[in-house]
A and B are shown apart, each in its own frame.
Chain A
């Protein structure tokens, strides 16, 4: 059974509809990409799944529970993590305090498969540069360091799956490499990841499967290898 099952999701900003029936699934421990151009509906899909954009119709089922229309905090507590596109680090807070916000007092979902829960110390082992600046204000961090902090912050909630919005956007090649490493690390920890992406190279490096979205509708669904092989789809929906 799929961990996350999205069916016919529709959503709008005010009068402007952006999602026209998006359907996709994410299996346990799987890394899937939601690819598409700017404005195709990638971020809106993730936001609608997370409850940050109220869905008009369709359904979101997570671990067998329908979570459509739930408030974001309940969806987060159900075990679905979210890493936003613009990082949205709490710049007034220290690195340590940012992690504290991500910690959940009481998670409904529990920890997956008896793995140890995430603690700041465990995260500092995964992201060594964060360890050196735990008392530093987040506003004094570089963009790449902030991006690592957003992921660490979300992991503090011990999610079973993570929605990762445009992880490679605006980062230097070196940081993109670290980001890819972080995604693969989550996979090794048994966390499923649905990431939105424009960068095919990055997606191909970390993802098993891919969806292609255009004008709020899924146009392609298949393995990453199939997408790489399908020049027509890439030409039609991805090439800028």
Chain B
């Protein structure tokens, strides 16, 4: 490893840092002003790449020069900016005052829609872009060749930083953005039309994402997985830098670029883990990122999140619940094997969703990576059974909640030190670590393909018997968690959710309670994951991936975040719907995305909550949120 090699490695680190910064700067600007963590930012990035591979070759046909190449790149970026404007006007401005969780889900709905639209327009095959004229070859640096295009990229980051600095400090628009980042309500009270400010901010932010994507076309072909692969990196950069801080994003991008460039030399298998570990360390030392500041939260009017009234079942409801359980238990006796399979899966997802509701609704801990613990349980069970141990199913099902609980305890130790959006981002980051290990540690986990042959013990291998095993375990899990909600422990968690400082002031140990709650919820999700591994007969990284975490959140949301039992309903409804609709259409992502957005807009309190609202509409005064 000589000097020239290290220099080149560092240069390529700077190049990726530059790209990362261009994308993350847009995300952090949009977050600063709108307070929305925009999942769709990854979609903007992807659209930038697709538009560039469409536009740039045509321009190069007209005139083959580096200028036309970069003109095409800019054009793609501006078009994406206009798409950002449309997204703001159609969706975001309707959800500025709904709780963060709902905003995140709604923007994830946009991600799903854009994925299907991109597949429809550009097809499923990756599209390689042209290389930039005159920049096709290498430049000699210390006796080694370094791609000229990468050198240009290294310059783009600081250039964008400088331009953004000028905009932010030398234009009225920039001054308003900085003011709104701090206190947007006050900016409004001074006569500034927030809607227009937000629209312009989205234009700028989406253009930057589009620019980031368009600049990638000589390096990576446009593909339909770019959105989610970039968004977690962009989240990490903005969170490490401090959300809303452009210079912070620059600093964080440099740090992460170098970490990746050199980390790959030392620990080639775990580059992803390194990045997220950095984020965890930074957030524990500086809970608001390197250059971020505590969120003043002033002027933020939101609907209450979580379970408000905790009443027990009334007699008719208890009878209804018993009836539902009885009907469920009768499924294998009455239904066909397919119905039994679906019912088994619903039970499993119901436990997972219920454990998430325990975190979100009771604990106020919005986890964006609950699939991590589901996945940990599934992998623990699957690897025990298929690995060198050849353990029996019984042992594996015992290990699943234990391993997932241990993982939740480890991650939770860091997570409960944070709050709000930083907490949600850290849960996402830890989930990505689990996903990355499953994906990258091929020798043990089978990588992308996973492991097959995860079958139950002989006595439980029949569909019906396995159904009853699942029913016994998941229903016990749900009943147990429900008891915890109604126990003083659950009351403590709710007190801490409503005001952590006041709960602390009356002597409650908020952190320890949250940590234990997180561990418990993780263990329950792990049990669900273990059961799912045997149900499917295989494990693979999707069991810990973002889309599954989102599915769990949607189940909670659809069921009603303010109800105790709603998530069970949500799981049943969502899984049945997915099972029925998915085979019927090639556009299921689009439909799911639209459904998520519709739920957020029309039923922000879920199915169970909507029924409540209809009953109580007459007496409850309209909340301030209704005026948004």
Contact = CB atoms under 8 A, between A and B. Distances in A.
Contact of B182 (A77, A90, A102, A153): A90
A97 B180 CA distance: 12
10 closest pairs, A vs B, by CB?
A76-B191, A54-B627, A90-B179, A88-B186, A72-B188, A101-B179, A72-B189, A73-B188, A104-B191, A54-B624
16 contacts: A52-B185, A53-B624, A54-B622, A73-B192, A76-B189, A76-B190, A88-B186, A90-B183, A91-B182, A92-B178, A93-B175, A93-B179, A97-B175, A97-B179, A101-B176, A101-B179
If over half of B's interface residues share one DSSP class (helix, strand or loop), that class is named, otherwise mixed; here it is helix
Nearest to A156: B190
A25 interface: no
Contact of A102 (B190, B621, B626): B190
B304 A101 contact: no
Interface of A: 12-15, 17, 50, 52-54, 56, 69, 71-73, 76-77, 82, 84, 86, 88, 90-93, 97-98, 100-105, 107, 153-154, 157
A107 B186 contact: no
Given A52-B185, A73-B189, A88 B298 contact: yes
Contacts of A15: 620-621
B193 interface: yes
A92 B182 contact: yes
Given A72-B189, A101-B176, 20 more contacts: A14-B624, A15-B620, A52-B185, A52-B189, A54-B622, A54-B626, A56-B622, A72-B188, A90-B182, A92-B181, A93-B175, A93-B179, A97-B178, A97-B179, A101-B190, A101-B192, A105-B172, A153-B190, A154-B190, A157-B191
B134 interface: no
Between B172, B189, B621, the greatest number of chain A beta carbons within 10 A of the residue's beta carbon is seen for B189
* From A69, A92, A154, A157, residue with most partner B Cβ within 10 Å: A92
Contact of A77 (B183, B187, B191): B191
A71 B198 CA distance: 15
B243 to A, nearest CB: 14
Interface in B604-628: 620-624, 626-627
A91 B622 CA distance: 34
A101 B175 contact: yes
Nearest to A106: B191
A72 B183 CA distance: 14
A123 B255 CA distance: 45
Nearest to B304: A14
Interface string B270-308: 000000000000000000000000000011000010000
Given A72-B185, A92-B178, A100-B172, A56 B621 contact: yes
A224 to B, nearest CB: 27
Contacts of A153: 190
- Identify which of B176, B178, B192 gathers the most chain A CB atoms within 10 Å of its CB: B192
Given A52-B299, A88-B183, A101-B175, A71 B621 contact: no
B304 A71 contact: no
A87 B172 CA distance: 22
A104 B186 CA distance: 14
B28 interface: no
Contacts of B186: 84, 88, 90
B621 A12 contact: yes
Contacts of B103: none
Contacts of B187: 101
Contacts of A84: 186, 189
A156 to B, nearest CB: 8
Interface string B323-359: 0000000000000000000000000000000000000
Contacts of B172: 100, 103, 105
Contacts of A71: 188, 194
A100 B621 CA distance: 38
